[in-house]
Amino acid sequence: MTPRKREQLDWVSLLESILADTPSLPEAACIGRHDLFDEGQGESKDEARHRQAVAEKLCAGCPEAWRCPERTDQPTAMTEAQAS
């Protein structure tokens, strides 16, 4: 096996293991809204708080929230730390 093929197989194995426990969420309200969940470059604390608040509202109304491991409408260590 060439090193390139071995590297590709390692990526496939990694993705398989990541996706194995990821539920399918076809009705997710955040589809296409990754900008709300990813920290922006040069984002100030106020901008981050606003972005997270919008994300939390989106999650609060999401029909897939009951089975989503990434929902943000629950207080997290990150949001609590940033609030102080």
For the bound state, the minimum distance from the C-beta of residue 53 to ligand SF4, rounded and expressed in Å, comes to 13
Q: Give residue 42's region: left, alpha or beta (phi > 0; psi -120 to 50).
A: left
Question: Between residue 14 and residue 43, which ones bind ligand SF4 under the rule CB under 6 A?
Answer: 25, 28-30
φ, ψ of residue 37 to 5 degrees: the values are -105, -15
- Is the distance from CB of 77 to CB of 42 less than 8 angstroms? no
Over the window 42 to 81, marking each residue x when it contacts ligand SF4 by CB under 6 A and - when it does not, the resulting string is: ----------------xx--x-xx--x-xxx---------
Task: Give how far the C-alpha of residue 69 lies from the chain's centroid of Cα atoms, to the nearest Å.
Answer: 9
CB closer to ligand SF4, 49 vs 73: 73
Which positions touch ligand SF4 (CB under 6 A)?
25, 28-30, 58-59, 62, 64-65, 68, 70-72
